[in-house]
A and B are shown apart, each in its own frame.
Chain A
């Protein structure tokens, strides 16, 4: 690329949080709109820097308190698309929402998407996001053929499984700590229609949920369960499983089949009503969870539109604000398969006893996984949110201990409070990761509030 001498753009000094709005941080934020400007920011001085996309990490992964943050959202150009291979080359600021806007009408969908489409691809690779199809299609990195990484020197390295491969695997799930992803190549998934066919299955407890996941694993490419974490005893883990596959045109009712790639209409919602305006307390959370469970009276095979199936929360745009100023903490953990049943029961019982209701709790079965710091492992994952109230942090430490003793771990893209010791025990590949990072970033220029809190480079 042309190397022009460009000076770094002016920063904006501002407060920043993650999606959970906890913790708060203060940084100089740069927002380059050309690559030469980004390079000027990276090489301007040796102070700490972290890249940020749309800031959908819940905790402090995209925060750099008292240091520099570079906002990559303006470097979002799509560069080339090959409709025969589905390979898309684009800049890291492109969002999953844009991928859908541009390519779903042409019969392509992102190969892996998290629960929101308002995330950048760069951030998604850095967190190595997973979706409802993890058990079959693995995480996002499995569909990335290469990416260009700008390291601390300002140099840009092509990283792939063949070239600079240890840097590739250190960057995937590496939380932005190896450098800034500029550009990547992603294999999009071909779909016949913008609709999915599937089912909603209600189950009464944890064992029934696990049995339902196992039974339907081969049949459905996408599966997730909303689990009511407020019901205890015999109803512990009662859930609604949402299962689906992209629908072939001949599976659609006639009115939809006439325009199968119409991305606009929303069919019946999976969340039964628009978010209610009442304040969140344990009663209302219980009521909400009970309502979801009651709403889905085991409908037979159904056609879903893509938006309702993949992004029910996106339509409640700023749902993260319902907890008010205090914010909330998202807790997502995974257990190895043979510990999952016991682990789930243990944690769900602890939560029910604590009466700390989670607004929305998600259960999913994972498949296999690569990446040095990637989160998933074959087993079951549980994701919950808790308002930040007295005693919460101690409570979550007790959950950490339960998860850790069974060989599980916690997801960094959601973490805001885990201790360095717990982190080190949960991520056995840390030393290998540190070695790869120190080659690309010997002076530890890329660091974040998350990396300092967890002691990731110590």
Chain B
């Protein structure tokens, strides 16, 4: 039976993904910064799936607490078979581009926090020579855009980190999947102009879960973003730097 830790469980995508894992009988530990919200999500998953889900809190920026947190989650689950990393905040990107403290906060919430937790999870899975790590990234990490490069750089760095990890864990049989998400209908896109091609969180979760079942390495969700970002990457830098999108 799959024992799965979901980091960032209060995001609508995580909620939907948790339900898919639970409907296949997975035992879940749902963790987020807000204890009450994490508990509500766990209760919801338990009520809907009939499989009891646990909940707990973690803080991406509280690096010192990560080791104990991962240990406790694994202990409460009776072991660990998989970790889903689905947390991060866009934050106030405009402020982050001017204020280094805010920029560093975005980086730690979206990149370094994830690095710390993934390293701990990877160690655990590598030792038992089985399991999976799913890391949810963003198309914003595929190229630095003037609109959201602080957030984008964190996601881009994360994708690179996970890419290397994939190589290291390949020979221990641990499946490492990078999800590059396009625009999903969440708080991040609500009210923002030009949020085209937005899909529902439940749809995103369906696509992520299907890719996980097929043991995909890197998946764009939905698939067409691979083509869009491929084209975006081809734009010469001298041209790209002037684009306002």
- Residue numbers of A with Cβ under 8 A of B are 1-2, 4, 9-13, 31, 33-37, 74, 77-81, 90-91, 102
Contact = CB atoms under 8 A, between A and B. Distances in A.
Contacts of B186: 33
Contacts of B36: 1-2, 35
A77 B43 CA distance: 8
Which of B10, B34, B191 has the most chain A CB within a 10 Å cutoff?
B191
Interface residues of B, number: 17
B34 A102 contact: no
Nearest to A37: B187
Contact of B41 (A1, A2, A77, A90): A77
Nearest to A105: B50
22 contacts: A2-B35, A9-B187, A10-B187, A10-B191, A10-B192, A11-B191, A12-B190, A13-B191, A33-B10, A33-B12, A36-B34, A36-B37, A74-B12, A77-B40, A77-B43, A78-B44, A78-B47, A78-B48, A79-B44, A80-B47, A81-B47, A91-B40
Given A74-B12, A77-B44, A78-B44, A2 B34 contact: yes
Contacts, number: 50
Contacts of A36: 34, 37
A34 B37 CA distance: 7
Interface of B: 10, 12, 34-37, 40-41, 43-44, 47-48, 186-187, 190-192
Contacts of A31: 187, 190
A35 B40 CA distance: 10
Contacts of B191: 9-13
A79 B40 contact: yes
Contacts of A79: 40, 43-44, 47
Given A10-B190, A78-B44, 8 more contacts: A2-B34, A2-B36, A10-B192, A31-B187, A34-B34, A34-B37, A78-B43, A79-B44
A225 to B, nearest CB: 36
A91 B36 CA distance: 13
Given A4-B34, A35-B36, A36-B34, A80 B192 contact: no
Contacts of A33: 10, 12, 186-187
Contacts of A35: 36-37
Given A2-B36, A31-B190, A34-B34, A102 B48 contact: yes
Nearest to B92: A7
